[in-house]
Structure 1
Amino acid sequence: MGISDTDLLAEIQRLADDNSSPPSLSEMQNNGEYSTTTYFNRFGSWKGALERAGFNPRSNARRVEQEDLLQELRRLDQEVDGRPKVRDMDEIGEYSAATYRRQFGSWESALKAAGIKTESPRKITKDELVEELHRLADELGEQPSREQLDEYGRYSADSYRRRFGSWNRALTTAGFESTRVGKTARIREDELIAELQRLSERVGGEPTMKEMDEFGKHSPTTYSNRFGSWSKAVEIALSEENEG
């Protein structure tokens, strides 16, 4: 007779009672009655098994030992095609990829520590970095901070600093700006257009980039990045003003 879900979940509960906390994957491997592979096959992931057993893995989280992280990375290496990716760990691994970045400095460093062959690092393009900033901003509902980027992003904040020269320059290139209170927010296109129209009225004609620098609220670079060029932004703003 096969092992039932009830038996598997009861074993998790037994180990939790022994340890006074939800068991880790390595604790199940070393002290549990059933194979961890059985849990992955049945519940999709170790986190899924813990949740089915009535535990919240995140709320009961404690600092994970590096050896536990490396064991899980090696297990994942055997399960997926090719070397493990960040997405693999986040979707079917016991821990989050962000945990590996915090403890090893980067995903690549974690792979090396686990003895998993890594590829020669590919130079990340600026377009890829900008696209990731936009993706994360949409996911969070706000402009991500450097800390959020390190926690949830595919690339580290240092990657942006190295490629763009500074964090603020990366933000500007992606169409974000620092606010007066020190936070950052992606500026809506209608706000950019409205500011161009306001400046046009002030200077009595088509505003120049220099005039935006001196009298406007936003950087001319932001307009170039968002509309393709400064002249295109001016054309759109003034055509909308005339239509209105």
Structure 2
Amino acid sequence: MPRYSDADLLEEIRRVADVADTDSAPSLQNFRDHSDIADTTVLRRFDSWNAAVVKAGFEPNDPQQRIPTEDLIAELQRLREAVGHAPTIDEMIEQGNHWPSTYKRRFGSWAEALDAAFDDINGEAVFESRAETEPDDPGTPGPHVSGETLLEDLRALADELGEPPRFKEMVEHGDHRARTHTKRYGSWAEALEAAGLDPDARSGGTQQVSTDQLLADLRRLRDELGRVPTATDVVEEGTHGIATYQRRFGSWSDAVEEAFEESDA
């Protein structure tokens, strides 16, 4: 069963529209800026951002008009400087500010977008050579890495550890980037669930985690980070999933308030 229902996601889109104070449908960037839910969860569930906002009751924005072509090209050039080579689709998903499908609609293909942005490369050749020469490199998992491969990586590491792995354990021991799992499935807990693993079944079995344990892990993160943890911190470094806090306390903000008001009292 998904951690967020379709109704939950659509209500979150409406909430973001209110917070961002938009005159029309909220943009994908608005959602990234104002929501603790990963945009990939919405895109995976509804196939596209425009399809999601239509279901949420908005008139869709025209992505061709919303983002100028020069901005799309500038973002490719910025990302190339950051990664040291013509960026792959996965690198745009993980580190970029625009969705790869926007480039495909505007330019016809990812390779043609690279050709438009860079004078010194052949986009098709660069893209294909990286896929051929680095298929198993955990540092650059391109679009050729299937979801099942990522899930098998999770299951294999769980077998080695004797329990579902934490985000940091995947960083240290996994065959693919831990962040690729969270981008693909929406959160670390959702990736574990997709692999058939219980995100709460660590160090002691599958019994429901207690409220005290949930609050204690938030305080542990605060002590380690030196600040109140964000939802992203919990996704990447927490012992329990964000949805567990939301179910138990009603919302992420209520969980934070209870954890730190009590501890500071």
For Structure 1 versus Structure 2, the TM-score category normalised by the shorter chain is 0.3 to 0.5
Find the structure with the greater CA-based Rg. Answer: 1
Which is bigger in relative contact order (C-alpha 8 A, separation at least 6)? 2
TM-score, normalised relative to structure 1: 0.41
